[in-house]
Amino acid sequence: MNHFPEGWGRPRDDVYGAYDGSHLKTVQPGAGFNQHTQSPIVTGTSVIAVKYKDGVVIAADTLASYGSLARFRDVERLKVVGEKTVVGAGGDMSDMQYIFDDVLERLMIKESYSPESHSPLLAPHVYTYLSRLLYARRSRLNPLWNALLVAGHDEHDKPFLASVDLLGTTFDGPALATGFGAHLALPLLRKLVPNEEASQNVTKEQATEAVKAAMKVLFYRDARSIDEYSIAWVTPQGVEQSREKLENQSWKFAERIRGYGTQTN
């Protein structure tokens, strides 16, 4: 027997000839086959969200990067689903378009015209559906390369905020962020809402200011971000949306950073 690790269990080549594995090939050379991408090309960065007393505020910038190139500068990464739900997506933009324009659109159409549907499509329903979808795709080794935040209200009109990633990992909290925002923005948001009880004492204005401050920090620190972003407020009355631009930008603080420009000491 051949005792080299790469050939364990195979007969000796010098006695029986080289091993012929052609019968294991299911696709003939040149026949072509479908291959799903496992390496995102055009990507979006952070999505951040925080609960407040009556709802949830969620924001994401409008940049889609082609590698390190700021290629597409007007990409909407927030999707309104139903009447009281917003889904924000980071990661691969083609997978995001599939989720937004195919999966969620079909879900809304089905819920709107299904005779068995007696309740409106709420954030927990959308979140459960997406979590099952992403876990199923991950189990087939063909994941949707996204991190999603689902913001809205539950059946008791309480604010709802939860996250699911490409592995199907799910969790909720009073403040959540994806991408680089999980490292930089989330600690800032947790100062405002360290737990669920604290979010009940936060006003819409306070939550909005915290999100805008976090978006400014991300623009300064994240090379894949841009100074224009979409922001949405999910209230008991519905969803309010706006397109914002960072205000009062200043890079003066960079002069004190070691290694910035010609400063080395």
CATH of the domain at 96: 3.60.20.10
Mean pLDDT over 113-142 rounds to: 88
Give the CA angle between residues 73, 184, 179 to the nearest 5°.
50
Chain segment 40-58, per-residue pLDDT in tens:
889 999 999 999 999 999 9
Answer yes or no: is 22 within a domain. Answer: no
Answer yes or no: is 192 within a domain. Answer: yes
Answer yes or no: is 6 within a domain. Answer: no
Answer yes or no: is 30 within a domain. Answer: no
Answer yes or no: is 128 within a domain. Answer: yes
Per the confidence metrics, is the pTM higher than 0.85?
no
In this prediction, residue 1 carries a pLDDT of: 42
Mean pLDDT over 22-47 rounds to: 67
Answer yes or no: is 214 within a domain. Answer: yes
Q: Tell me if residue 37 is catalytic.
A: yes
DSSP string, 122-191: -HHHHHHHHHHHHHHHHHTT----EEEEEEEE-TTS-EEEEEE-TT--EEE-SEEE-TTHHHHHHHHHHH
Range of the domain at 137: 46-240
Answer yes or no: is 78 within a domain. Answer: yes
Chain segment 164-202, per-residue pLDDT in tens:
999 999 999 999 999 999 999 999 999 999 999 999 999
Answer yes or no: is 264 within a domain. Answer: no
Q: Is the pLDDT of residue 146 over 50?
A: yes
Side-chain half-sphere of 26: how many Cα atoms within 13 Å? 2
Cβ(192)–Cβ(210) under 8 Å?
Answer: yes
**SS3 at position 213:** helix
Number of domains in the chain: 1
Query: Could you say which of 37, 85, 128, 235 is catalytic?
Result: 37
